Amino acid sequence: MGQTDKQFNGFLRMVIRDLKEGLAEDDPAKLREKIEILLVDLQTTLED
């Protein structure tokens, strides 16, 4: 079953939010953690 436009837009908002938070992070360890969390979320979404 495909996504609706609203679901896809929500997904994109999540990715954009997480990337913006990563860009604002000064601590490399925290940046890495945020990227790892985003990657897990993306992989989980892909597998659903």
10-residue mean pLDDT profile of the chain (48 residues): values are 83 92 93 93 87
Half-sphere exposure of 32 (CA within 13 A, CB side): 3
pLDDT at res. 11: 87
Q: How far apart are CA 12 and CA 19, in angstroms?
A: 11
- pLDDT, residue 28, reads 94
Query: What confidence score (pLDDT) does residue 37 get?
Result: 93
